[in-house]
Amino acid sequence: MVIAGLCVSPAAESDAEIIARVLFSECRGEDELGQLAVGQCIVDRRDTDYRDFRRQNTIRAVVTAKRQFAGPGRLTPDLLAVAERALNGERAFPEHEVLFFRQTKKDGDWHAPKIDKLGCHTFYGYERERKVDN
């Protein structure tokens, strides 16, 4: 099945496999932290209440949204491991909800505050709400 240019099979591909294919296309030349940041962006978009992404409540919906992510890429063991880490809650930016990224050479104003640059990408988003224990 082809959805928005991403070849996926509804029954055959897990969320980790889908993310790993996007990581290959978007950031395979980056170090693990940069790859994890892109994975975090995908997971954060699935989980956010931010208005633009409320209907993207699955990994598949996030990565197949029109003009959002490059795809499909090859499935490699190292990128699959990074994707699984992102799905298990490991974060490149623990204090932030990452909702956007783009190539650093296109840096400038964006839809959200800038978080940081990693490798060839600049990441944007918002501080996560801190939960206070009573």
Residue 114 CB burial class (10 angstroms; 0-12, 13-18, ≥19): middle
pLDDT digits (tens, 9 = 90+) for 45-59: 999 988 888 889 999
Domain positions in the chain are: 2-127
Exposed e or buried b per residue across 74-95, where buried means at least 16 C-beta atoms within 10 angstroms of its C-beta:
ebeeebbebbbbbbeeebbbee
The answer to whether residues 112 and 102 touch, using CB atoms and an 8 Å cutoff, is: no
Q: pLDDT per residue over 8-43, tens digit each?
A: 545 569 999 999 999 999 999 999 999 999 999 999
Alpha carbons 126 and 11: distance in angstroms, whole number: 34
Residue 94 CA to residue 108 CA, distance in Å, equals 23
